[in-house]
Structure 1
Amino acid sequence: MPPAPRALLESLFLAAVAAADPETCLEGFIPEPPKGRLVVVGCGKGAAQLARAFERRWNGPLEGVVVTRYGYAAPCERIRVIEAGHPVPDEAGLSASEALFGAVSDLCEDDLVVALVSGGGSALLPAPPEGVTLEDEIALTKALLGSGAPISAMNTIRKHASRIKGGRLAAAAAPARVVSLIVSDIPGDVPAFVASGPTVPDAATRADALAAIDRYRIDVPPAIRRHIESPACEAPHPADPRFAGNTVRIVASAARSLEAAQAAAERMGVAAHILSDALEGEAREAAHLHAAIACEIASRERPFAKPCVLLSGGETTVTLSGTGKGGRNSEFALSLALDIAGFETIHALAADTDGIDGSEDNAGAFADGTSIARLRKAGCDAAALLVDNDAWSAFDAIGDLFAPGPTGTNVNDFRAILVE
């Protein structure tokens, strides 16, 4: 017999996270030793765990530095770990960017750089170009986070307002070869979009960045707008000879994590169906689609027979209009709860695989067919809280926040909906 609904959903989350654990996902991706020096650089919410796992698998000499979010550090013996601000950049991140540049300076063609990159690196590595300040980059980050723009558009803008993103760190390492080992939190697993691609260039231009700013009506600081309008901001092209010998490998992704969760569900005797590993768009709108499918299964057993689990990943967004606390997964869960109210055989978990959803200490929240009735009993207006982007307060009021703590990895959103 399967475990209780919430225990089952949490076990699926843990299976998804385990599939992206640096201690296992680096297997088979460790490069051959170079003739010269081995330098490790890295950024992201899982960077310290990746660095520790890499150290354990590397027998020769190495040196390097990685940057991660405050509270996400892991002990390393030979690689320096720096903590910095996320989701809003800070002075520590500015220093970390300079430390990464220092680590790859004065290398030769016999040297090898291993870049350990995971989601979150965009905020952790502020490096404003000439004429732009850290305060400008902070303002840009805040504007992007509340814009509702997809991650591809956000990172196209970010890389054109930076000295380190868009392949520039790899360019600084030339003529050394760079091997990028990436834990992807990006829908579609485009390596150049993870952490805005410090070691992986892409072909997007400043014209694309300007178009994204205008399309999504992003309030960009004037200094950044001026910079992006200047030809000097153009990021290096993938065909640049400085990248010729470099390699890029995706070592973990949402797709692999969802497949692991699917296998875990089926071991417990529950059929599992992956809807998508690359879902984007407004969190509350994505919830409507998931709820419609779940309710159809509950009422008519189509398109799938029950019991079953619906799984999805990707990166939804929230266009901020209120002043509440929350995150995209909590907002998804609250919107879903409104749609499945009264369906007591539907249970859901929406959570960020890095362990943090938004600015609070929860990864997301549980929701079920009784959530709205329980909120009403607690004196809460679920619809009003959703309008105010205050999903955290809603689920806190009924004890349904999900807070596993930092996981050491990041393959973005995880959603599991059980229909009994």
Structure 2
Amino acid sequence: MSATPSFTPVLAPGAPERMAVIDLNAVRHNVRHLKTEIGERTLIAVVKADAYGHGAIEVGRAALEAGADMLGVAHIREGLSLRRAGIDAPLLAWMHTLNSDFSRALTGNIELGVSGWDLDAVAETAQKVGTRAVVHIKVDTGLGRNGCTLADLPALLHRAREYEEQNLVTVRGVFTHLAVADEPARTETLTQLEAFNAAVNHVRQAGLNPELFHIANTPGTLMHGQEAIPEELLGNAVRVGLGVYGLSPISSHDPEDFELQPVMTFQTFINSVKEVPAGQGVSYGLNYRTETPTTLALVPVGYADGVPRVASNAPVRIYPAGAQAQTYQVVGRIAMDQMVIDLGKPGLSDPEFGYLGAPVVLFGNGENPSVTEWAEAAGTINYEIVTRISSRVDRVFIDESTSTSES
């Protein structure tokens, strides 16, 4: 098991007041480890939603440097942003609307997931543009969202074969998405695998010869070979999102159990420290009152920064100058721009204790609170916590070959 790097707060002069510190070294570690886990299979690193809030361009480059074979995004515009940044690696986008810009996707060499009407729209665009579209056919094997049903699949494959014969389309892949792989004991994953295998048989009977078959997401990839998730689930390619960012999709497992390193650390600085009496109400609704005289510290982030408003009692770790770091809980309601910490005793506003201006970490690696702890406090999942961190929070990228750089 690899050790998680220890955390050192960012204290450089001119450091942003609020920052999501993105460790690109951890991205590389995670991708290399995932490549080891899947062997010779193709690794599609998913960087949709600005790489789950981590910065798609920087994370995409780091993932490719570490051995990722392709990048995956939801929207064409996300793929075009990567292309404008000079990333020319294979790239797949799979979520389209009637207003999607298929023309720019094709001229930008973006592969497209299709599952119905979009195949016809892509083929029509390919004819207009004068290029051949590369597509991956998405099958709904039980999730009930995007994807072609097994009942409609033969007709879709027939059209795909016709478009291939017209040199408008190349079917490079077939894929689906898992519904309950994060609950590895559930049998629905095996049912989806059976449905996917049936879909692959339909594909071959239609005379198509795709190169890639991808079904496993992060939980399917990490848990293959255990419980109801067989090795066969990995196909010859996997799409990994959360694992790239060093987070666990399995509630009973920490990232360290999978030898993953968390990538994002959310840091700011205490901007006010003051003494209050017993009975002092804190924040909107006054649903928290101090039991004894104490010191309150103000943390200048709130729900406008992506911090869940409902996450009262979530943990933060404060690094006062000259004193040992300690973990506290948020008290009272989280507001748009701020939240409050009860330091537990009076007198700590004295400058000698070093709380004013002290770094405070909401979540991160090492001994800091985890993203999962914040998710539990908010009644949600770790995916949402990192993805929702807003653009008001500067991304600061840590790279082994460079010093800290701001977004």
Q: Give TM-score scaled by structure 2 length.
A: 0.31
> Which structure shows the bigger proportion of residues in helix conformation?
1
Tell which structure's C-alpha radius of gyration is larger. 2
Q: Give TM-score scaled by structure 1 length.
A: 0.30
